[in-house]
Chain A
Amino acid sequence: MNKFTRERFKTGEEYSRALFFLSPFIFLFSVSLFQVLNLTLFQGNKYQTIAESNRIYQKPINPVRGFIYDRKGTLLVENIVQRDLYVTPAYIEDYPTTLLQLSNLLNVPYELLEENFARSKKKINKFDSFPLVKALNEEQIAKAKVNLDLIPGIEVKATLKRYALHKETLAHILGYVGDISSDEIKRDKLLVELQNTQIGKTGIEKEYDLILRGKPGIQTQERDVKGKLVRVLDTQGAEDGQDIFLTIDQKLQDHLFKLFENRRGALVALEPKTGLVRALISSPSFNPNILNSIVDVDEVESLFSNKESPIFNRAISGQYPPASTLKPFVGLAAIENKVISWDKKIKDDGKFYVEGDPRPYRGWKENGHGRVDMRKAIAESSDVYFYTIAFDLTLSGIRPMLDSFGFGRKTGLTDFEANGLLPDKKWKLGYKGDFWFKGDTINLGIGQGYILATPIQLAMAYSGLANRGVIYQPQLIQPEDEASYKPKKLAEIKLSDTNSWEKMERALIDVISARNGTAHKVFDTNSAVIAGKTGTAQIKSILPGKEYDAIRENPALRDHALFVGYGPVKDPKLVVAVIIENGESGSEVAAPIVKSAINFYTRVSNAE
C-alpha cells in the first residue's frame, strides 16, 4: 500500500498554519497596494511634475550679441569664434587620468587643469559641460580633435567671444563683458535664462546691455537618464542683439589716444552744439579683450591690482580740482552780481590779504600781474584778481553760477559718473566738521580748495560758454540723422548783459592768441582760433616755509595740468577738456592736446 494513501485522513492543521504564515505577506501586499494608491492618486501630480523635469531639458539658444560701431560705421566691437575645450564630469570615470592625458596632449600644466576642474565642477550639474581650457590655439585644436574619441567626456566647442578691435583705445567707453555672477542674477531674474552667455560689465556694454544682448531662444529637448538627446520637442529661436552706433569718432579717438602715451590723464571732446561726445579717453588704458574672454587669471588680477588703475574711467569718474579753468565762471558770477565791471582794474602784486590774517594768499606769479581787468586776469590767469572778486562775492554769490553750469552734478552721460563736488557750508560742516571760512571762498575763486570736477563736467561747462549759455545733454549714442538731431537742453543760462558772453570769449581767446596769454606757446597762425583756459591743480597745499620745488621731487605730488577749450571760435565744433595728472603745466602738456583735437576734428574728421 502506498504511503501517501495511508496518511490520507491524518492531515492536521496544515492549511490554517499556511494561512497564519501567509498573513505577513498578505499584510505587506495590502500595504503595497495602498502605497501604489498613495503614489499614483494622492501624490500623482507631484510625481508627474518630477517625471517631466526628469525628461525635459530646456536648452537655451544664445542670441548673437550686437556689434558696436563708431559714428561713421567703423566697427569697434565684434564677436569672434573661440574654441574651448569642454568637459562633462558625468562622463569622466577617473578624472586625474583624464586631466593628465589632457595636460600632455595640450601642453597645459596639470595643476592648472586640476584647479579649473575642481572650481567649475562644484558649480554645475554633472551632466552639464564647462570650459576647461579656453581659447585653444591651432595646434591644440588639431590635437584635441584627433584624440576626442580616446578621452571620454571632452569636446571642443566653438563659442562667440566679444572682441574689441581697437583694444586699449576705446576700452573705457566700450567696457567689457563677462559671465553672469550670482549677485547679478539675484538683482535681475531675467538673467537666469541667459546662463552661459556673457553680459556687459562696464561702459556701453553694460549700459546698453539690454539692446546688445538680444533675447535667448529655448530648445525643449527630451533627454534620457544619461543626458543624451532623444528628440527635440520644440524650438524657439533666439532674437539677436541689435547693433549700436556711437557718437565717437574713431579716427579722432585714435589720434588723441596716441598723444596720451605714457601719461595718466583724461580727455573729453564733444560737440558743444549737440552734446555728442566725439572722443573720450582715460589713460592708462587696458585691453578689454583680456576681460572679454578670461584666459589667464593672473593677467586679470594684475589688471585690477595695478596702482595706476587702468580700469578706472578718469574721464567721467576722475574728480580733480578744476583750478584756473573755473575762473571764467567765477568771473561771470562777479559780473552778474555787479561785484566788478569788465573794465575795473585790480592791483595784483602777487599777494592777497584778508583782514585779521597776516598770512597772504599768494598768486602763481611771484610779483603779480600789475593792474589787471577781467580780460587780462583770464588771459594771464591772475589769482589775486579772482581772490578779490571771490572774497567780495562770498560763497552764496559764486555757487549759483557754478551750479547752473553743472558743477557738482552728474551730466547724465552714463550711469557710472562721479558727482564732482560743489561745496557749501552745510557740506563742510557735515563732512569736515568745520565752519565755512572766508579763506575757503577765496580758494574756491581760483578753483582750488574743496571743489572737484570731472573732465566731462568741465567740457560741459565750457560748452555752455561756447553756446552762450545753452548746455546740451551729452550723449554717446549716435542719432540716426545727425542733421535733424534736436538735442535736449540740459541748462540755459541767462546773463543780464548778453555781451558778457562775447567779452568772456575774447578773454579766453587771449589765453592763446595774446602775447601775454598763459597758453600762447601753442599759438600758431595755421590753427583754428581756440578759446580756452589753462589750469594747474595743486594736489598738496603749500605750507609756509615749504616751496613747491621741494614738493615736486615726488612726481605723485606734482600739480595736475588742465586745459579746457573750444574752437573754432566762429563756429565751435568741439569743446575739449584735458587733464594730465601730475603734468604740472597746463599750457605745455594739456593745451597742445586740445589744440590738436580741435584742428584734427575740423580738418580731418569733418572733411569727409
Chain B
Amino acid sequence: MRNKPLSFSIDIKLNKRRNLLNFDYSIISTVLLLGFFGLAMIYSASGSYALVLKQASYFFLGIFLMVTAAMSNFRKMEPIYLNAVWIGFLFLILVLVLPNSGTANRWINLGFIGFQPSELMRFLLPISAAAYLTRNPQINLSDWIIVLFVTFLAFILVFLQPDFGTSAIVLLSGIMPIILSGLPWRFIIYSFLGGIGTLPFLWLSLMDYQKERIYTFISPEADALGSGWNIAQSKIAIGSGQFLGKGYMEGSQSQLDFIPESHTDFIFAVIVEEFGFLGALGLFILYAYLIHRLLYVARRSNSKFAKLVSATLSIILAAYITLNISMVVGIFPVVGMPLPFISQGGTALVVNMITIGIILSLRRST
C-alpha cells in the first residue's frame, strides 16, 4: 500500500537511489537479444562487414540513448516532451525543401550521419500529444482538435515525401493518444466512417509504384517476374526453410540474392529460410513477450501521461512488427517497413531503442 501517508516520505528517499537503475531487465535483455540477432542476420543477408559495423555503431548508440532515456525522470521532462514535436516538424520541412537525389525525399544528410525525419516524428508526435492532452486534469474537445490538426499536418508532410507506410504510422501515432485519452466512442466511430469515405481520394493521390504494390498484393501470380517477383521469392525462401531451416549463412535464396532487400525490409524471409519454422516461432515469442512487457507498463502505471505514451509507443512498435512480417509472408501489401531491432537501418533502430528507454522511464512512475 504505497499511499499510506506515514510511509510516503520515506519511500521517495529510498527510491531516489535505487530507482535510477531499477529497469525492467526483461525488456532490455529482449531488445539486446533482438539487436544482436539482427546484426548476425544482416551479415548473413548482405555478406558485408562494413554494413554490420555501421549498424553495430547505431546499435551501441541506441543502447546508450535507451539507458539514458530510461534513467531520466519523465516528470521533469514535461516541457521538453510538450515541445519535442516542433523539432520533428523542423526536420520534416527541411527534408522536403532540401534537394535530394532519387524519387523520394526521405533522408536528411548531416554529413557524418544520415537519418529519416519521418522515423523521428512517429515517436516525437505521440509523446508531445500525450503531454499536451494531459497538461490539464480535464481534457477539452479543443485539445483533441488541436492534436488532430497537428497530426494531420505531420501525416501530410510525410505523405508528400512520399512515404505511404511511414505516413500511416505517423497518423496512427498521433491519433492513438487522442483515442486512448478518452475521446468518446461516437467520435471514434464517426471519424472511422469518415476515414473510409476519404479512401477513394487517398487512392487517387497514391504514386504509381504504390498502386502497383497493392495490385501485386491482390494477385502476385499475375506478374511473377515483375513486381510479384519479390513476394514470390520471399515465400519460396520462407517455405524452403521448412522446420529447422537451412542453417546460418546457408540459405540459397538469400545467399544468391533471390530475396530482394534481404538485409532490410525482407530480413524476416532470411531468418525463416535459415532457421526454419522453429526460428520464426522463437522470434514471434520474443516479439510477443516484448509487447506484452511494454503494455504491462501502461497497465500498471497510474499516470495518464505514462499510460498514453507507453500504450501508443507499444502499439506503434507492434504495428511495425506485424505489418513487416505479414508483408514478407505475403498476406499484406508491400509497404516499406523495417522489422524493428533487426532490419538494417540506423534511424529506425535508434528511434526504437529510445522508445524502449522512454517506456522504461515511465515504468518508474508505477
Interface of chain B residues 318 through 366 with chain A (CB within 8 A): 318-319, 321-323, 325-326, 329-332, 365
Q: Contact: A14 with B241, CB < 8 Å?
A: no
| Contacts known (A14-B311, A18-B315); A32 close to B277, Cβ less than 8 A | no
Q: Classify the interface of chain B: helix, strand, loop or mixed.
A: helix
Q: Contact: B284 with A54, CB < 8 Å?
A: no
Q: Contact: B134 with A230, CB < 8 Å?
A: no
Q: List B contacts of A51 (CB < 8 A).
A: 236-237, 239-240, 252-253, 258, 273
Q: Contact: A40 with B242, CB < 8 Å?
A: yes
Q: Contact: B136 with A3, CB < 8 Å?
A: yes
Q: Contact: B299 with A15, CB < 8 Å?
A: yes
A227 CB, nearest partner CB in chain B, Å: 10
Residue B176, interface by CB 8 Å: yes
Residue B281, interface by CB 8 Å: yes
Residue B213, interface by CB 8 Å: no
Q: Contact: A3 with B135, CB < 8 Å?
A: yes
Residue A353, interface by CB 8 Å: no
Q: Contact: B307 with A40, CB < 8 Å?
A: no
Q: Contact: A35 with B242, CB < 8 Å?
A: no
Q: Contact: B281 with A9, CB < 8 Å?
A: no
Q: Contact: A54 with B256, CB < 8 Å?
A: yes
Q: List B contacts of A10 (CB < 8 A).
A: 137, 304
Q: List A contacts of B315 (CB < 8 A).
A: 18, 21-22, 25
| Contacts known (A3-B134, A12-B182); A29 close to B237, Cβ less than 8 A | no
| Contacts known (A6-B137, A224-B256); A15 close to B176, Cβ less than 8 A | no
Q: List B contacts of A35 (CB < 8 A).
A: 326, 329-331
Q: List A contacts of B365 (CB < 8 A).
A: 4
CA distance A50 to B330 in the complex (A): 17
Proximity string of chain A (283-314) to chain B, C-beta cutoff 8 Å, 1 when within and 0 when not: 00000000000000000000000000000000
Q: List A contacts of B288 (CB < 8 A).
A: 29
CA distance A5 to B302 in the complex (A): 9
Interface of chain A residues 1 through 44 with chain B (CB within 8 A): 2-15, 17-19, 21-22, 25-26, 28-29, 31-33, 35-37, 39-41, 43-44
Q: Contact: B242 with A225, CB < 8 Å?
A: no
Q: List B contacts of A40 (CB < 8 A).
A: 238-239, 241-243, 272, 276-277, 280
Q: Contact: B238 with A14, CB < 8 Å?
A: no
B114 CB, nearest partner CB in chain A, Å: 28
Proximity string of chain B (279-323) to chain A, C-beta cutoff 8 Å, 1 when within and 0 when not: 011001001100100010011011111011001101100110111
Q: How many residues of chain A have a CB within 8 Å of chain B? A: 49
Q: Contact: A8 with B239, CB < 8 Å?
A: no
Residue A364, interface by CB 8 Å: no
Interface of chain B residues 149 through 173 with chain A (CB within 8 A): none
Q: List A contacts of B180 (CB < 8 A).
A: 14, 17-18, 21
Q: Contact: B326 with A55, CB < 8 Å?
A: no
Residue B181, interface by CB 8 Å: yes
CA distance A43 to B326 in the complex (A): 17
Q: Contact: A29 with B325, CB < 8 Å?
A: yes
In the complex, which residue of chain B has the Cβ closest to the Cβ of A18?
Answer: B311
B261 CB, nearest partner CB in chain A, Å: 13
Q: List B contacts of A43 (CB < 8 A).
A: 239
Q: List B contacts of A226 (CB < 8 A).
A: 257
Residue A47, interface by CB 8 Å: yes
CA distance A541 to B242 in the complex (A): 82
Q: Contact: B240 with A48, CB < 8 Å?
A: yes
B188 CB, nearest partner CB in chain A, Å: 9
B148 CB, nearest partner CB in chain A, Å: 16
Other-chain residue from A15, A17, A47 in contact with B235 (beta carbon distance below 8 A): A47
| Contacts known (A21-B315, A32-B325, A32-B329); A54 close to B236, Cβ less than 8 A | yes
Residue A84, interface by CB 8 Å: no
Q: Classify the interface of chain A: helix, strand, loop or mixed.
A: helix
Residue B61, interface by CB 8 Å: no
Residue A46, interface by CB 8 Å: yes
Other-chain residue from A18, A25, A222 in contact with B322 (beta carbon distance below 8 A): A25
Q: Contact: A33 with B242, CB < 8 Å?
A: no
CA distance A10 to B243 in the complex (A): 50
CA distance A37 to B279 in the complex (A): 11
A22 CB, nearest partner CB in chain B, Å: 6
Other-chain residue from A3, A14, A47 in contact with B239 (beta carbon distance below 8 A): A47
Interface of chain B residues 233 through 251 with chain A (CB within 8 A): 233, 235-243
Q: Contact: A15 with B311, CB < 8 Å?
A: yes
| Contacts known (A14-B311, A40-B243, A50-B240); A33 close to B284, Cβ less than 8 A | yes
Residue A223, interface by CB 8 Å: yes
Q: List B contacts of A222 (CB < 8 A).
A: 252, 256
Residue B179, interface by CB 8 Å: yes
Q: Contact: B298 with A15, CB < 8 Å?
A: yes
Q: Contact: B329 with A44, CB < 8 Å?
A: no
B327 CB, nearest partner CB in chain A, Å: 9
In the complex, which residue of chain A has the Cβ closest to the Cβ of B291?
Answer: A22
A482 CB, nearest partner CB in chain B, Å: 59
CA distance A54 to B224 in the complex (A): 14
In this complex, the member of A39, A54, A230 whose beta carbon has the largest number of chain B beta carbons within 10 angstroms is: A39
Q: List B contacts of A223 (CB < 8 A).
A: 256
Interface of chain B residues 214 through 244 with chain A (CB within 8 A): 233, 235-243
CA distance A50 to B241 in the complex (A): 12
Residue B24, interface by CB 8 Å: no
Residue B211, interface by CB 8 Å: no
Q: List B contacts of A18 (CB < 8 A).
A: 180, 295, 298, 307, 311-312, 314-315
Q: Contact: B307 with A15, CB < 8 Å?
A: yes
Proximity string of chain B (259-287) to chain A, C-beta cutoff 8 Å, 1 when within and 0 when not: 00000000000001100110011001001
| 13 examples of A-B residue contacts, CB within 8 angstroms | A14-B311, A15-B311, A17-B180, A18-B307, A19-B295, A29-B287, A32-B325, A36-B277, A36-B329, A40-B242, A50-B240, A54-B233, A225-B257
Question: What are the nearest 6 A-B pairs in CB distance?
Answer: A47-B239, A51-B240, A18-B311, A44-B242, A39-B239, A40-B277
Which B residues form the contact surface with A (CB < 8 A)?
A: 75, 78, 134-137, 176, 179-182, 233, 235-243, 252-253, 256-258, 272-273, 276-277, 280-281, 284, 287-288, 291, 295, 298-299, 301-305, 307-308, 311-312, 314-315, 318-319, 321-323, 325-326, 329-332, 365
